[in-house]
A and B are shown apart, each in its own frame.
Chain A
């Protein structure tokens, strides 16, 4: 029972490089979310999706893009990484609006 799996778990990027973070869930959940966690700022919502083929902006979407071509996968892309994007990234998914979100283990990204 994998739940929510994030790939990779750690990554170091140089400024200007691009990368894609993968979130995969095997629970047939409709809703998926990407957050970043920075000290003292809690979890801030980057983008989210309420179903396959749909995406929406969260609180801090600039510099990120997402896609949800398959229900089970939610991809977060950084086109041109900046040091300000150094953070821990969490993916989460939930079945319905009134059910809890399950989280992945997080991805620690450092941009140098």
Chain B
């Protein structure tokens, strides 16, 4: 079964608007972490934001925020004031702890290709 699900293969957003990229996850481990990464066309993986399962507040990093809804097992990425340079592939990832047999493995979703338009 998929541990991380990203249902939007592609998204378009107008420059300066906000956009939400969806991510749902599945784990039985009470201790886990959620990550978002950006992969521009050049291919490198860039870390954006992290949310721990016990964190009380939603994580924010500059224009990035993570809408963490634990009961719904969702961890959506919100990008505010989109810029042309935000055009890239975005990956959601989860690290489970040993309790779920995950042994701290870090698994990724299939990604969402974001295109920012003028």
Tally of A interface residues using CB under 8 Å: 27
The number of inter-chain residue pairs (CB within 8 angstroms) is: 60
Set A31, A45, A100: member contacting B107, Cβ < 8 A: A45
- Distance of A14 Cα from B24 Cα, bound (Å): 39
Are B108 and A42 neighbours in the complex by a CB distance under 8 Å? yes
Segment at the interface with B among A63-71, A72-80, A101-109 = A101-109
Chain A contacts for B12, CB-based, 8 A: none
Are B103 and A40 neighbours in the complex by a CB distance under 8 Å? no
Are A43 and B52 neighbours in the complex by a CB distance under 8 Å? no
Segment at the interface with A among B14-22, B43-51, B64-72, B78-86 = B43-51
Are B111 and A97 neighbours in the complex by a CB distance under 8 Å? no
Are B45 and A90 neighbours in the complex by a CB distance under 8 Å? yes
Are A41 and B33 neighbours in the complex by a CB distance under 8 Å? no
Are B104 and A31 neighbours in the complex by a CB distance under 8 Å? yes
Are B43 and A33 neighbours in the complex by a CB distance under 8 Å? no
Give the interface of B toward A (CB within 8 A).
6, 9, 33, 35, 43-45, 47, 50, 52, 91, 93, 95, 97, 103-111
Q: List 18 A-B contacts (CB under 8 A).
A: A31-B104, A31-B106, A33-B105, A42-B111, A43-B91, A45-B105, A48-B104, A48-B105, A59-B107, A92-B45, A97-B33, A97-B104, A98-B50, A98-B95, A100-B35, A101-B47, A103-B44, A106-B43
Give the interface of A toward B (CB within 8 A).
31, 33, 35, 40-45, 48, 50, 56, 58-59, 88, 90, 92, 94, 97-103, 105-106
